[in-house]
Structure 1
């Protein structure tokens, strides 16, 4: 992330956004990052599971969503790329051939490890998180949001209708088509098994991306370490529906 965007993205004390009882702020040191990693471990692996860490944590900025008592309720991390030529160094590039996106232009914002505290149901927490993302996009001029959206478990048959729906209606434009790189993938058969109620099978985060005009890879990657099936997801900020853009900017203030 450029020093300009990094320094200007937050106000005093690292606060990105504050609304009512909640605030979104940048992690300020190892203790904050450790708290985010612990919450990720709880959300991804359950009580008693490992803390979630990976080699990309030191390269990313971490955003914490807290209540007025300082209790961590949600978090995510982001990697800022000034130009699309550097997309090969992103987390997603470990699993997907992103060669075509190298010509997209920049800046780009990769989002990852988005999670909420188990049992946390207040919708204002997620609204604040998305308001913080909107603020980062606007202040840095990001042209593309991207990342991996995960389905729980590795049973592909469970998600056959969802994958058919994604392949038929939300596949990436040909010019940005995402190539296969991972060893174990599930290729989508557009429309295969598409059924009523298919949206219930799609994770909430991915539904949000799709509602902003997002598109996905034509296959899912089997991630046995994380016990997920994930798909590459891109959102071109210029193509986000105006009503959704206005709503996000209203939150961002």
Structure 2
């Protein structure tokens, strides 16, 4: 495996100073117990986050490896260079700091996506049409959510959202979007949960967004009266349940991602729709780390 510093160019390295695009990449954005969250501050931390993603997506969940992935043992694509990487560290772990990363989120702001030719989700959902209907709002795409098995707890999710809340306030984000996934490539295996989302959580009106036509799979696999809300919600991945609690809506249609062995749905979460209880909670926590 190559040395970590050789994975990025000198130009890339120069981009990462103490401050990056106006936000302090070394500053703690949230803390719960021994867990701290902040942005990646250099290419070595991004590479370490990619290794954590590989351990979860490829080793644990069975994503399809290509030659580059197999050699580097990292989950990486062209979007990593233009995204900010939110990292959760367990400060109680021994060793160098980049080996204490236990969770990560990838954040792609609209201005960066526009300069790079589009959002990651454009291959699956008609996100650009949604963005075009809201020219006065600043969109943020969240993706590659990843937490190591031993840290899949409410505490880790909360510290991640402390960091996200600080980030969206710093950049005046108006809408959060992104793909969220069910494991496996058969929507029928998740018929009750997908049907519940289609019948009760679909984004409508100005927030409607659809899977691209050539990849569209219907989500309303069961009629409304055949769906048990309790069973449907229990069958959902924690990330999707978390988005729903915050006030998110779901796009029309799901997409099968054969590379990652997932069935993807699209999340639409205007900041104005965030539940008041969560705004009050995360705002009060953010004040502890305000610059």
Asked whether the two chains share a fold, i.e. TM above 0.5, the reply is yes
Paired positions, count: 248
Residue by residue over 1:157-211, the C-alpha shift from the partner in whole angstroms, topping out at 9 and shown as x without a partner, is 1111111100111101122221331633321227534224111221111111111
Residue by residue over 1:110-149, the C-alpha shift from the partner in whole angstroms, topping out at 9 and shown as x without a partner, is 1110110122244322211000001111122111011001
Write the distance in 2 (CA, Å) between the matches of 1:121 and 1:26.
Answer: 20
Q: 1:107 to 1:83 in 2, by over 3 A?
A: farther
* Richer in strand (by share): 1
Of 42-51 and 29-38, the range deviating more from structure 2: 42-51
Q: 1:178 to 1:88 in 2, by over 3 A?
A: farther
Quick one: which of 126, 129, 133 aligns to 1:103?
133
Question: 1:187–1:219: 8 Å Cα contact kept in structure 2?
Answer: yes
Structure 2 counterparts to residues 31-42 of structure 1, below 5 A = 31-42=44-55
Q: 1:118 to 1:127 in 2, by over 3 A?
A: same
Gap regions ≥5 residues in structure 1: none
Question: 2:185–2:258: 8 Å Cα contact kept in structure 1?
Answer: yes
User: What is the Cα deviation at residue 83 of structure 1?
Assistant: 9.9
Quick one: which of 162, 165, 171 aligns to 1:140?
171
What's the counterpart of residue 238 of structure 1?
A: 272
What's the counterpart of residue 39 of structure 2?
A: 26
Larger radius of gyration: 2
Residue by residue over 1:57-95, the C-alpha shift from the partner in whole angstroms, topping out at 9 and shown as x without a partner, is 111011110011431110011011259988971111121
Gap regions ≥5 residues in structure 2: 1-18
Write the distance in 2 (CA, Å) between the matches of 1:85 and 1:31.
Answer: 26
Of 140-149 and 46-55, the range deviating more from structure 2: 46-55
SS in 1 for 2:243: helix
What's the counterpart of residue 222 of structure 1?
A: 256
Task: After the TM superposition, list the runs of 4 or more consecutive aligned residues in structure 1 that deviate by more than 6 angstroms.
Answer: 83-88
Please give the TM-score of this superposition, normalised by the length of structure 1: 0.88
What's the counterpart of residue 24 of structure 2?
A: 10
What's the counterpart of residue 57 of structure 1?
A: 80
C-alpha RMSD over aligned residues = 2.5
Question: 1:78–1:109: 8 Å Cα contact kept in structure 2?
Answer: yes
* Richer in helix (by share): 2
Residue by residue over 1:29-80, the C-alpha shift from the partner in whole angstroms, topping out at 9 and shown as x without a partner, is 2211111111111111225974211111111011110011431110011011
Question: 2:195–2:220: 8 Å Cα contact kept in structure 1?
Answer: yes
